[in-house]
Amino acid sequence: MRSIIDILDLSVSEIDELISTAKDIIKDHKKYEAVCSGKKLATLFFEPSTRTRMSFEAAMYELGGNVISMASAASSSSAKGESVADTAKVVSCYADIIVMRHPKEGAAYVAAENADVPVINAGDGGHCHPTQTLADLLTIELEKNRLSDMTIGLCGDLKFGRTVHSLINAMSRYENVRFCLISPDELKLPDYVVKDVLEKKNIEFWSTSDLEDAIPKLDILYMTRVQKERFFNEEDYLRLKDSYILTPDKLASAKPDLSVMHPLPRVNEISTAVDKDPRACYFKQVLNGKYMRMALILKLLKEAGQICM
Ligand code: CP
């Protein structure tokens, strides 16, 4: 049974195919409105979410399918001690596909090993968030008309920001992509991403703590929230939370075709005054995420023999 736990579970040509399906959904929405009729998607969210859960649910409804949902750990039998493995097995009896978010790294993998239906990782701790990356890739493709030949600045919490880890893995597979890693020392990209991805693949990258110095060199600026929920110590969070705040004056030196991205939710990292700048793409990412999730649901249900297209 095919599950998607990591963005690397999808080949570059499969990502191209998903982007092409998403573009077709945007162009001809009506063609897809009953494709998943009679099918059910289960959302199991052991951590808070607005975008990922609601976009998966909207995606399934727009494909003509139905949704069953566990919106919080507290409202499920995991509060009584049921394991992720048992939960996944049980929910397989009710749904044709499962979407799961969990605070523990590796939890989605455990669910996939035990479920009898495809499992999609909607974020596992600080590890990865492959469907946010699908939203990011469609956004970059639509904004730049390419996924190669660019400098991407990643700014903020590069240590705990799972969207950053997944995006680096994904974009490292395209030609001539460079990364500028902008963070305070305490929130640097984990060694395993630096060594196993960037160094291993000989990808050009540099680290800095100076956002303003980096901005003029970038084609994409990917801002991130400092992940309060992953800190052990509130004092450290309070000291680091406002390390970077993007404001219109900081964008004065940016390229005219810079794309400013953020997986959201935003706290303080981007001033709301930036929202009016045509280079702000973060609300486009939200909508693109729904289309890519529609494309992914279609792909997995088709591969599982649940729908024909
Ligand atoms: N970007 C993202 O994962 O948002 P949610 O936490 O609201 O799902």
The Å distance, Cα 202 to ligand 1 centre, comes to 31
Report the alpha-carbon distance of residue 7 to residue 108 in Å, rounded: 13
> Atom 4 in ligand 1: which residue has the minimum CA distance?
51
Ligand 1 atom with the smallest distance to the CA of 55 is: 8
CA of 244 to the centre of ligand 1 (A): 20
Q: Which residue has the higher pLDDT, 231 or 295?
A: 295
pLDDT digit string, tens, across residues 35-91: 999 999 999 999 999 999 999 999 999 999 999 998 788 989 999 999 999 999 999
pLDDT in tens, 41-54: 999 999 999 999 99
Q: Which atom of ligand 1 is nearest to the CA of 101?
A: 8
Quote the ligand 1 centre to 308 CA distance (angstroms). Answer: 30
Centre of ligand 1 to C-alpha 133, Å, is 11
Q: Point out the ligand 1 atom lying closest to the alpha carbon of residue 48.
A: 6
Task: For residue 115, name the pLDDT band (cuts at 50, 70, 90).
Answer: very high
Q: Are 124 and 105 in contact (CB under 8 A)?
A: yes
Sheet holding 220-223, edge to edge: 205-208, 177-182, 150-155, 220-223, 259-261
Ligand 1 pocket, mutate which of 47, 50, 139 (most atoms under 8 A from CB):
50
The position carrying tokens 């969990």 is 102
Cα distance between residue 274 and residue 243, in whole Å: 17
Going along the chain from its start, the domains and CATH numbers come out as 7-128+286-303 (3.40.50.1370), 130-285 (3.40.50.1370)
Instruction: Name the residue with the closest Cα to ligand 1, atom 5.
Output: 49
How far is it, in rounded angstroms, from Cα 225 to Cα 308?
A: 40
Minimum CA distance residue for ligand 1 atom 6: 49
Query: Distance between CA atoms of 293 and 65, rounded to whole angstroms?
Result: 13
Q: Which ligand 1 atom sits closest to the C-alpha of 123? A: 3
Q: What pLDDT, on the 0 to 100 scale, is given for residue 237?
A: 83
pLDDT of residue 71: 73
- Of 234, 211, 214, 237, the C-alpha closest to 225 is 237
CB of 135 closer than 8 Å to CB of 262: no
Q: How far is the CA of 249 from the centre of ligand 1 (A)?
A: 28
Q: Which atom of ligand 1 is nearest to the CA of 50?
A: 7
192 neighbors 233 (Cβ within 8 angstroms): no
Pocket of ligand 1 (CB under 6 A): 49-52, 123, 132, 263-265
d(CA 120, CA 299): 12
Of the candidates 186, 164, 188, 190, the one whose C-alpha atom is nearest the C-alpha of residue 236 is 186
d(CA 189, CA 261): 18
**The pLDDT of residue 107 is above 90:** yes
pLDDT mean over 3-9 = 97
Report the catalytic residues. Answer: 51-52, 80, 101, 129
Q: Place 234 in a pLDDT band, splitting at 50, 70 and 90.
A: confident
What is the spatial distance between Cα 20 and Cα 18, in angstroms, rounded to a whole number? 5
Measured in Å, residue 20 CA sits from the centre of ligand 1 at: 24
**The pLDDT value given to residue 239:** 85
pLDDT-derived band at 238, boundaries 50, 70, 90: confident
* Sequence-distant (≥ 6) Cβ neighbours of residue 101 within 8 angstroms: 44, 45, 46, 47, 49, 52, 53, 121, 122, 123, 124
Q: Whose CA is nearest to atom 3 of ligand 1?
A: 52
